[in-house]
Amino acid sequence: MRGGEPSKGKWGIPGGVVEVGETVEEAVVREVREETGCYCTPIKHLATFDSVRRDEDGRVHWHYILFEYLCRYVSGEPHAGDDAAEARWVSLNNLGAVDIMESTRQFVEKTAHEEGLLA
């Protein structure tokens, strides 16, 4: 569960800033470890999204570029770290039971179907 804005209090996918000199894949591994205590291996780039939030006057409040990766779990037990308020495993069939942004839920379910992870 996100501990800070944007989307504080909502469940989401680990992520964060790519540090200078770091590849996107290295950032994926580091962010998952920092936020959940788990280790993973990125196996496939799935999508790239722009996330732009504007204020009431139309000025850009923030702009993130999101690189979504399918990863293979390697080790570790989930626990909240870094800027996460909580971390836990949620089954793909139980995404509706957590407060997750609708667009994130749809993306995860679409990916799971395309990758043969859901019936």
pLDDT (tens digit, 9 = 90+) per residue, 17-32?
A: 999 999 999 999 999 9
* pLDDT confidence tier of residue 42, bands split at 50, 70 and 90: very high
Tell me, what's the pLDDT at 90?
87
> Is this model's pTM higher than 0.85 or not?
no
The reply to whether 114 falls in a domain is no
Set 25, 34, 86, 109: catalytic member = 86
The reply to whether 115 falls in a domain is no
Contacts of 21 (CB under 8 A, 6+ apart): none
The reply to whether 13 falls in a domain is no
The tally of domains found in the chain comes to 1
The reply to whether 56 falls in a domain is yes
The reply to whether 108 falls in a domain is no
Residue 19 among the catalytic residues: no
H or E element at residue 36: helix 24-36
Task: Write the pLDDT tens digit of every residue in 46-59.
Answer: 999 898 999 999 99
The reply to whether 83 falls in a domain is yes
Cβ atoms 109, 92 nearer than 8 A: yes
DSSP 61: E
Domain of residue 49, CATH code:
3.90.79.10
